[in-house]
Structure 1
Amino acid sequence: MNVDEYLARLNAERPAAADLATLRHLQERHLAAVPFENLSIHLGEHVSLAEDVLFDKIVRRRRGGFCYELNGLFAALLRELGFTASLHAAQVFRPDGTLGPPLDHAAIVVELAEPWLVDVGFGRFARHPLRLSGVDAQSDPEGEFLLLDTPDGDIDVLLDGKPQYRLERRRRPLADFVPMAWWQSTSPESHFTRSLTCSRPTSQGRVTLSGSKLIETVDGVRNEVELPTEAAIRMAYRVYFGLPLTRLPTPPGEIPLTPRADHPDTAVHAQ
């Protein structure tokens, strides 16, 4: 990994210390610079979790990704900078309150004087590290987070009282997530194959491009605009997310879920 190249992608300088202030700054910069997106699935690109492939995609080709990609590569950067950072699996809560499958999500735990939850791959989520052992509500620009121990020893993460995911305490290598990443990117039952999204937080809210629909939330006010042409959609990807796409992703249901042999990536949540 070229650390300086990755930091330049985040518009961040090499930190002097691996401390909480640095961790918070890097998380903020990552969320602002690297969008949460599942475009590869709808561009016919194979999703790989190999670190060199992730680095090429996210840093050199200035793309985004979903949880396994974003948190997988960010955890590797944190370790290069001297942090003790590990990946942890989580089950995402469905709208009806039931839990999704194991390894449905990957998040990061960073050990400082105490453990902190860091997540740059869940769509709308905390912009700052969350105290993993905290029992009180934690305020964040995205809302109020509460982390609760479960009887089985896991941790439920709630945002404004609504359960987001259940986090395992055990550490996992990125390779553990490869089968689920394949399922998420190929199964007709996956949320990611049935939706098309590109999203990132802004200083005043959030901007999301879902197909041809541009959604901006500014100071709590949501505005939706239907983009009329492919040129307008392509421009939105470039202006709002810095994505220099040479072709547009095809809406769900209109593309075979197989990798393109001529794509350079051929080599595997917006809430």
Structure 2
Amino acid sequence: MDPRLPQTIDAYLERIGATRPVRPDAAALRELQLRHLTTVPFENLSIHLGEDIVLEEEALLDKIVAHRRGGFCYENNGAFAVLLRALGFRVTLLQARVHGDEGRLGIPYDHMALRVETDDGTGPWLADAGFGDHAQHPLVLDDRIDQRDPRGTFRIEQAPAEGGGDYGDLDVLRDGAPQFRLDPRPRALADFRGGAWYHRTSPDSGFTRSPVCSRFTTSGRITLKGHRLITTVGAERHETRLEGDDEVLAAYREHFGVRLDRLPSEEGVGVSASIG
């Protein structure tokens, strides 16, 4: 174990405004996920700043803890998994394919989610700090009933077999609409490099089209897309156009704690990139 890890975990907890839990139980997991979602933004800024995305634990912690940034699913959930394991939770990385328009499924390793086991006999839990607008609380992975959450009604159900094979894939639905298809087999962090490379470079990926930075609030979300600042509270949506680079950079600092010395490009990106 890296001898610096305990100090890094303390700094991680400070970053998200959490205290070290007494035990790794469901209540602690619920609190940690909520604090992560409301503090660490879901963002793709590295793609539009020309920064490498390195899927290694030390690099993820450095980005999210030391540099107080966020990331997309591989980064946020990859770092969150390190935090949870250090606090005594048992964590398995899971790959998923996102349901797109007209029912089309995304690529394998389109998304990373976490299976988390606690010491109180509940769960196992589906934890996710990296899907953008999703469940506020962890979901019971083995339940096949509606699970009510402040962000909607969620259900996890058996997915239909495809191509003659059935590995027990699960569809995660929100308010009746499928969000992603989860493969329950355990994965390693390095397995997600191909998916990260695709989303970092492909013009078909939504992440290469424009920069976005978004996080949960207690009553909705706040999102910065280019020069547009969007706040939602319940069903109400308000959009403000920011003028000038300084105003946008100030919005990153004020609303997301992200300090940049230049703006990410608002043009589409589709270039060769390094995914560590």
Q: TM-score range by the shorter chain?
A: over 0.9
Deviates further, 35-44 or 225-234: 225-234
1:38-88 deviation per Cα after TM superposition (whole angstroms, max 9, x unaligned): 000000001111111111111000000000011011111111111011110
1:95-124 deviation per Cα after TM superposition (whole angstroms, max 9, x unaligned): 211111111100000123231100000100
Distance (whole Å) between structure 2 residues aligned to residue 8 and residue 58 of structure 1 = 12
Partners of 2:113 and 2:127 within 8 A in 1 = yes
Paired residue for 2:163? none
Paired residue for 1:106? 112
Question: How much does 1:176 deviate?
Answer: 0.3
Paired residue for 1:257? 271
Paired residue for 2:187? 172
Distance (whole Å) between structure 1 residues aligned to residue 270 and residue 105 of structure 2 = 28
Question: How much does 1:252 deviate?
Answer: 2.4
Distance (whole Å) between structure 2 residues aligned to residue 47 and residue 227 of structure 1 = 28
Partners of 2:169 and 2:183 within 8 A in 1 = yes
Question: How much does 1:257 deviate?
Answer: 3.5
Change (3 A) 1:3 1:222: same
Question: How much does 1:231 deviate?
Answer: 1.1
Q: What runs of 5+ residues in structure 1 fail to find an aligned partner? A: 260-265
Distance (whole Å) between structure 2 residues aligned to residue 243 and residue 55 of structure 1 = 15
1:207 equivalent to 2:222? Answer: yes
- Over the aligned positions, Cα root-mean-square deviation in angstroms equals 1.4
1:66 equivalent to 2:62? Answer: no
Distance (whole Å) between structure 2 residues aligned to residue 223 and residue 26 of structure 1 = 28
Question: How much does 1:267 deviate?
Answer: 8.4
* Mapping for residues 138-217 of structure 1, pairs under 5 Å: 138-151=147-160, 152=166, 153-217=168-232
Residue among 70, 76, 81 paired with 2:82: 76
User: Which amino acid letter does the alignment assign opposite residue 130 of structure 2?
Assistant: G
Paired residue for 1:262? none
TM-score (norm 1): 0.93
Change (3 A) 1:256 1:170: closer
Distance (whole Å) between structure 1 residues aligned to residue 154 and residue 129 of structure 2 = 15
Change (3 A) 1:256 1:44: farther
Question: How much does 1:92 deviate?
Answer: 0.2
1:123 equivalent to 2:132? Answer: yes
Distance (whole Å) between structure 1 residues aligned to residue 75 and residue 271 of structure 2 = 18
TM-score (norm 2): 0.91
Runs of 4+ in 1 over 3 A off after TM superposition: 255-259
Distance (whole Å) between structure 2 residues aligned to residue 191 and residue 243 of structure 1 = 22
Question: How much does 1:184 deviate?
Answer: 1.0
Change (3 A) 1:267 1:221: closer
Report the identity percentage.
52
User: Which amino acid letter does the alignment assign opposite residue 129 of structure 1?
Assistant: P
Distance (whole Å) between structure 2 residues aligned to residue 128 and residue 256 of structure 1 = 34
Partners of 1:67 and 1:121 within 8 A in 2 = yes
Paired residue for 2:49? 43
Distance (whole Å) between structure 2 residues aligned to residue 246 and residue 258 of structure 1 = 23
Partners of 1:41 and 1:257 within 8 A in 2 = no
